[in-house]
Amino acid sequence: MDSKVLSHLQDNNTQPQTLDFLSQPLQMYVDGQWINAHSNERITAYDPCFNAEITTFPSASSIDLDKAICAARRTFDSKEWRDMLPLQRETLMHKLAGLVEQHADTLAQIEALDAGKAIAGCRDVDIAGSVDVLRYFAGWPSKIEGAVRPVSIPGEHVAMTVKEPVGVVGAIVPWNWPFNMMIWKFAAAIAAGCTLVLKPAQQTSLSAIYFAKLVEQAGFPAGAFNLITGKGSVIGNEMVSHPLISKVSFTGSTEIGKQVGAMASQNLAHVTLELGGKSPMVVFEDADIERVVAATQQSVFFNSGQVCSAGSRMYVQRKIYEEVIEAISSKTQAMKIGLSLDDSTDMGPVISTSQYANIIDYISIGQREGARLVSGGQTVGDDGFFIQPTVFADCNNTMRIVREEIFGPVLAIQPFDTEEEAIQLANDNEYGLAASVFSSDTSRAWRCVKQIKAGTVWINTHDMVDPCLPFGGFKNSGLGKDLGPEQLEQFLQTKTVWLEV
């Protein structure tokens, strides 16, 4: 561990469990055993606050991946897992939720350190929200049901449908929400009765390794959950195209998601793809501007803008255009940019050198395209990957900063005059993950909701999520849903049963 990282930990009331965990040789969790990679290769985890080493973890090969998938399949087919009563599975999941809650401070510290997340939001959203997801899905195993159907065939028949788990799930988690997205995939798969092989992003694998320790402590059968760490370029393609994988759940970029869908289709595996976004925020002249400002902070500038559903393009009715720009700019300039483990930090660093360079490049593109830089636009400090929250005004839909997913703390604002124009501008994009409408006129807001092509539309807020409601996009933002009963359904398959009596 680099000395800067150690000081970062020691200066911020770090949990003893955090330091103990990071001082151990980290391993993968396969078939109930802790193992190193077959090749003994390892990957270095970096603290993006300093671009300095935290620790290392295994870099799996195809041999390790095949071992994990075979273990998951063996457990799925086993009598122990097949005959586990629904209430027993619920009990296991509730126990695990309790363990995550018990270790919440440690998990938040590991996540903030590894991903550069501001710890206050990480604790309250990433970890606490994950506990809620686990508890929500823990209630489902005893409530999965089919239906008895009346048939029109002569004679005496009983006909019904039965819901069964699809099989082994291959789950690939993105680097921007490592713990949260892992739990979204884990909870629904296990609730449905599937077994799981999970690969976290190579940039942010540490919280997943700690979570595997809690799965083991909760008493899940060996092979029910398997954690493989490594490079997507080495094992990602092999995971989604493996013949024993029955379902692929992927969260990441649209470009990679299309490749994942194509490869999984070769085995006719079920697929859920939660992909990119460039979500519009439509602000009418009767909007509550304080709500608009709060929504941009919790969306565009939360997690340093590395949020797929971030409302990163804003359309404001001309009457209040300059007022909204000034209010948002004043708020962003007051935000504290700082170290991830500092409780007073509003925004930490972005994840990596490449992401940092990409965002800086987009800021330059915006200026060259003629957008007005209102605030931000600069890097911060000499260490790490810190970028000021950045606000552009006078944009238009032909600009790259409006059309393309920047995945950083950059907001592009432009004016509109009529409701019809606002809808046209909001829908003029390849993505359709999410959107929001701000107005005190509920009739107008509802008209907009019906016309905007997005998987989620918020009214007078943005980026609110609850376990009971599905999340997933239209157009190039993906296929299928996470969360809610809609996600559970995608880990199940329907069997028809006939009985002639």
Task: Enumerate the active-site residues.
Answer: 274, 308
d(CA 234, CA 388): 34
CB atoms within 10 A of CB 441: 15
Name the amino acid, one letter, at 173: V
d(CA 32, CA 2): 31
d(CA 25, CA 45): 12
Could you identify the residue written with the tokens 């509109």?
416
163: phi > 0 → left, psi -120 to 50 → alpha, else beta; which? beta
d(CA 213, CA 6): 23
Could you identify the residue written with the tokens 């001082």?
23
Angle ∠(134,405,198) on CA atoms, nearest 5: 35
Query: Among candidates 39, 483, 25, which has minimal Cα distance to 209?
Result: 25
Query: Among candidates 411, 365, 343, 291, which has minimal Cα distance to 119?
Result: 343
Are 213 and 160 contacting, i.e. CB atoms less than 8 angstroms apart?
A: no
Query: Among candidates 358, 362, 356, which has minimal Cα distance to 379?
Result: 356
